[in-house]
């Protein structure tokens, strides 16, 4: 998630989708972690130095709290853990992924009706 190569990097309100394979989800659940725990962990760990982000995206209108960070301070890739959407999908095989969104848009989820 912490990469300059997505539309999310300079947009602090951006959403990410973390798709866990069933095996990774089972390991996380067996450790007693909830979806909110995963969101909180990723929010705290998926960060880049503020100076790197500002230099890479100089034309962005940074929010006051983002401007106030020192260059070495870690800047989160989104402004709330809830912007990290965690879901389980797939079948056998230990392959999970993080998917950036388009940056300033919000996801819409609807139930599937058989």
Domain regions of the chain by residue span:
16-48+77-100
Residue 3: pLDDT band by 50, 70, 90 thresholds? confident
Q: Which residue has the tokens 């990410």?
A: 16
The pLDDT of 17-26, averaged and rounded, is 97
Question: Are the beta carbons of 44 and 114 closer than 8 angstroms?
Answer: no
**How far apart, in whole angstroms, are the C-alpha atoms of residue 88 and residue 90?**
7
Structure token digits, residue 101: 């969104």
**How far apart, in whole angstroms, are the C-alpha atoms of residue 73 and residue 60?**
18
Hey, how many other C-beta atoms are within 10 angstroms of the C-beta on 52? 14
Identify the three-state secondary structure at position 85.
strand
Tens of pLDDT along 75-110? Answer: 998 889 999 999 999 998 899 999 988 777 888 888
pTM here is: 0.86
Q: Which is more confident, 9 or 43?
A: 43
Tens of pLDDT along 36-66? Answer: 999 999 999 999 999 998 888 877 778 888 8
């Amino acid at each position: 998630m912490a990469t300059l190569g997505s539309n999310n990097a300079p947009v602090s309100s951006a959403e990410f989708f973390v798709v866990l394979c069933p095996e990774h989800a089972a390991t996380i659940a067996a450790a007693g972690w909830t979806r909110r725990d995963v969101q909180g962990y990723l929010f705290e760990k998926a960060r880049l130095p503020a100076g790197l982000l500002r230099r890479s995206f100089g034309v962005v209108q940074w929010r006051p709290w983002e401007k106030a960070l020192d260059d070495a301070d870690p800047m989160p890739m989104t402004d709330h853990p809830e912007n990290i959407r965690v879901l389980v999908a797939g079948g056998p095989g230990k392959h999970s992924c993080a998917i950036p969104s388009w940056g300033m848009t919000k996801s819409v989820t609807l139930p599937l009706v058989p």
